[in-house]
């Protein structure tokens, strides 16, 4: 608090803690303001919860505050004081990466005022954030992504290759950030308002190990069959696939996806690649395309 309120800087400039009354009162007021904000953000157990990981998401809008956790993971910080990736370490200001990360906390507190509910202010900070890096945007807009990280750990391979860890290792269940965000932040709303019909949002599939990628699935009911479209994020793009074996009984759908859907042959599947900013429109377009298929369950009209 002495650092944030300006007392440390004042000490360096004045070479003494003896200063005039006006300076003392100003620094004391700043100290008390930061202390109130710290007491709102933290309690005896660590980070205080205001729901939906609001503190972490609001802090992310200021900048990347993550600290290394183990050899290959990065952490959104945990309460255990003995861990190198703890909130206590960030507050103390010592350790690898900490000196450049700690000022982000001050910047967040500088945007808060103690005369309004903090939850409301955090929501405003989150809602009005712009110009965020894509990976930060995904975490900020998708509370479920941080919720999935039970130990607040992610496997960071690059800014476009980030896995959400349910434990601390890739041999445990894990999700992929951008497809997980697409599922929870975009497609759930589209599915709810009917924008994906006749496609139906199925499930998000987490995986163990590194042999396959996590993915989400959209289902298309055609007659008595349900055809699944798999969507995963890899190499900076979304890939929508459907197995060719699934389409064998339905040459009309195969032709439609080829001729009008932009799908191409890949190993064992038809696939289409989409940029991150185009995947929403791409899937809505796919839904519209499939809506043109005759309903095999429809009863013929009586003459």
- Domain range summary for the chain, segments of one domain joined by +: 44-139, 178-290
In a 10 Å sphere around its CB, with 0-12 CB exposed, 13-18 middle and 19+ buried, how is residue 243 labelled? middle
In 28-144, DSSP assigns E strands to 42-43, 46-47, 67-69, 73-75
What is the DSSP secondary-structure string of 93-123? T-STTHHHHHHHHHHHHHT--TTS-HHHHHH
Vertex 231: Cα angle to 229 and 232 (nearest 5): 155
Q: Which of 141, 135, 161, 139 lies closest to 236, judged by CA?
A: 161
Q: Is the peptide bond before 198 cis (omega within 30 degrees of 0)?
A: yes
pTM higher than 0.95 = no
pLDDT digit string (tens) for the chain, length 303 residues: 445 534 445 445 555 556 666 666 777 777 888 899 999 999 989 999 999 999 999 999 999 999 999 889 999 999 988 888 999 999 888 888 999 999 999 999 999 999 999 999 999 999 999 999 999 999 999 999 999 998 999 999 999 999 999 999 999 999 999 999 999 999 999 999 999 999 999 999 999 999 999 999 999 999 889 999 999 999 999 999 999 999 999 999 999 999 999 999 988 999 999 999 999 999 999 999 999 887 655 454 444
Interatomic CA distance for residues 123 and 55, integer angstroms: 9
pLDDT at 24: 60
Q: Which of 91, 93, 134, 128 lies closest to 111, judged by CA?
A: 128
pLDDT at 162: 98
Would you state the structure tokens that stand for residue 148, as one six-digit string? 């999935």
Give Cα separations from 142 to 47, 56, 77, 135 (angstroms): 19, 12, 18, 11
Give Cα separations from 173 to 20, 122, 155, 181, 298 (angstroms): 59, 31, 12, 17, 41
pLDDT at 294: 77
pLDDT at 30: 77
Beta bridge partners of 233: 238
Give Cα separations from 183 to 205, 236, 302 (angstroms): 10, 17, 42
Interatomic CA distance for residues 231 and 23, integer angstroms: 60
| Residue whose pair of structure tokens reads 């890899």 in the numeric block | 234
Give Cα separations from 135 to 70, 201, 252, 302 (angstroms): 21, 23, 39, 55
* Spatial contact of 264 and 271, defined as CB atoms under 8 Å apart: yes
């Amino acid at each position: 608090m002495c650092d944030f309120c300006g007392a440390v800087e004042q000490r360096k400039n004045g070479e003494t803690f003896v200063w005039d009354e006006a300076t003392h009162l100003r620094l004391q007021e700043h100290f008390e303001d930061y202390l109130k904000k710290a007491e709102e953000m933290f309690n005896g157990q660590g980070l205080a919860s205001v729901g939906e990981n609001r503190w972490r998401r609001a802090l992310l809008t200021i900048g990347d505050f993550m600290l290394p956790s183990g050899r290959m993971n990065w952490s959104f910080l945990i309460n255990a004081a003995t861990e190198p990736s703890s909130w206590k370490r960030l507050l103390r200001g010592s350790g690898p990466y900490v000196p450049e990360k700690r000022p982000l906390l001050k910047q967040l507190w500088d945007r808060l005022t103690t005369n309004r509910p903090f939850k409301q202010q955090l929501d405003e900070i989150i809602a009005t954030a712009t110009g965020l890096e894509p990976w930060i945007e995904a975490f900020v807009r998708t509370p479920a992504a941080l919720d999935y990280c039970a130990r607040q750990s992610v496997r960071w391979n690059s800014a476009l290759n980030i896995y959400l860890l349910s434990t601390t290792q890739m041999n445990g269940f894990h999700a992929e950030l951008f497809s997980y965000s697409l599922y929870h932040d975009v497609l759930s709303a589209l599915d709810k308002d009917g924008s994906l019909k006749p496609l139906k949002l199925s499930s998000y599939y987490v995986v163990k190990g590194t042999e396959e990628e996590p993915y989400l699935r959209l289902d298309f009911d055609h007659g008595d069959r349900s055809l699944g479209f798999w969507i995963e994020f890899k190499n900076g793009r979304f890939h929508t696939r459907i197995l060719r074996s699934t389409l064998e009984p339905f040459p009309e759908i195969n032709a439609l996806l080829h001729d009008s859907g932009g799908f191409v042959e890949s190993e064992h599947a038809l696939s289409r690649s989409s940029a991150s900013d185009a995947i929403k429109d791409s899937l809505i377009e796919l839904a519209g395309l499939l809506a043109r298929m005759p309903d095999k369950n429809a009863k013929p009209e009586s003459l």
